[in-house]
Amino acid sequence: MFANLGVKVYIVEALQHILPFIDKDLALAIKQYLLKKNVTIYENIFVNKIEINKGGIKAILSNNERIEVDKVLIAIGRMPKTSGIGLKNVFVETDQHGFIKVNERYQTSNPRIYSAGDVIGQPLLAHKALLESIAVAKNIAGEEIFKLNYTLIPLTIFSGLEIASIGYTEKELKNKNIKYRRIRLPIYFLSSVKIKNGRYSFIKILLDEESSRVYGIHIVAPNASEIISAYLPLYMGKIELEEIARTPYPHLTVSESLREIAEYILGEPIHIFLKK
């Protein structure tokens, strides 16, 4: 991050909180982390105008504040570059946003042409594109196809104090009127998290209200992008909480959090006092 190099950084977010596509509690943890790095954050604020002159750049905000900076990075999303490349000439259709339309076999509207990766739409992630490409190759070769389960694709945010998620957010569950239980465990007590200065770290698991079905797993922690893979079997229903609680995850790693939250959900935490 630029802030780690001593550069003064400003973030201007037009919506109610930074990272608006994730739950607010995750975004708040990252906000607190960034504020400690001396990053100035504006939320629910627009950039009305950019003025460029010899002395630098001036951003005029919707709250009438003016910020003088050397560089401006505009990060408001990505759009596919599919116009003007001849898709119409080969009868390949795109949707209203410019993403190429495909079926379950990743065939386009022209059955002789396949497409995969960012160009076919969300999520725009490399690990998703890789598996789609393998599926396309198998389809073309006439091998047995596999269907990619998009709910298993982890979202990772490399923000120093990292975020990693699988499955539904609380916002999505509420929009679908799905009843759920929210289990949230701070993990700053873990030695590995302390060593890596993960002060605002926590794990959040969203469970079915009446069963052990997992709807979503959300991690805010150092190395969250790495340990999210250890949580995949839990999300997939391939391992029970009781088995996780008996698994010797290595000490001085953030992966210990998996055993900790399993013990917590089972009502038998070792390092957390549970009021009864």
Contact residues for 187 (Cβ-Cβ < 8 A; gap 6+): 193, 198, 201, 202, 203, 221, 254, 257, 260
Among the options 97, 127, 251, 271, which is catalytic? 251
pLDDT band at 3 (very low <50, low <70, confident <90, very high): confident
- In the 3-class helix/strand/coil scheme, how is the chain assigned residue by residue? CHHHHCCCCEEEECCCCCCCCCCHHHHHHHHHHHHHCCCEEEECCCEEEEEEECCEEEEEECCCCEEEECCCCCCCCCCCCCCCCCCHHHCCCECCCCCECCCCCCECCCCCCECCCHHHCCCCCHHHHHHHHHHHHHHHHCCCCCCCCHHHCCEEECCCCEEEEEECCHHHHHHCCCCEEEEEEECCCCHHHHHCCCCCCEEEEEEECCCCCEEEEEEEECCHHHHHHHHHHHHHCCCCHHHHHCCCCCCCCCCHHHHHHHHHHCCCCCCCCCCC
Instruction: Look at residue 147 in the predicted model and tell me its pLDDT.
Output: 81
Q: Is the distance from CB of 49 to CB of 82 less than 8 angstroms?
A: no
Angle at 219 between CA 215 and CA 220, to 5 degrees: 150
Is a pLDDT exceeding 90 seen at residue 175?
A: yes
Token pair of 132, please? 């789609």
Average confidence (pLDDT) over 12-34: 95
Average pLDDT of the chain to the nearest whole number: 93
Is a pLDDT exceeding 80 seen at residue 275?
A: no
Instruction: Look at residue 97 in the predicted model and tell me its pLDDT.
Output: 93
Dump pLDDT digits (tens) for 113-140.
999 999 999 999 999 999 999 999 998 9
- Domains of the chain (ranges plus CATH)? 2-69 (3.50.50.60), 87-148 (3.50.50.60), 152-266 (3.30.390.30)
Instruction: Look at residue 146 in the predicted model and tell me its pLDDT.
Output: 80
Average confidence (pLDDT) over 203-219: 95
Dump pLDDT digits (tens) for 92-114.
999 999 999 999 999 999 999 99
Instruction: Look at residue 118 in the predicted model and tell me its pLDDT.
Output: 95
The Cα 76–Cα 157 span in angstroms is: 15
pLDDT band at 248 (very low <50, low <70, confident <90, very high): very high
Per the model's pLDDT, the better-predicted residue between 149 and 59 turns out to be 59
Q: Can 97 be counted among the known catalytic residues?
A: no
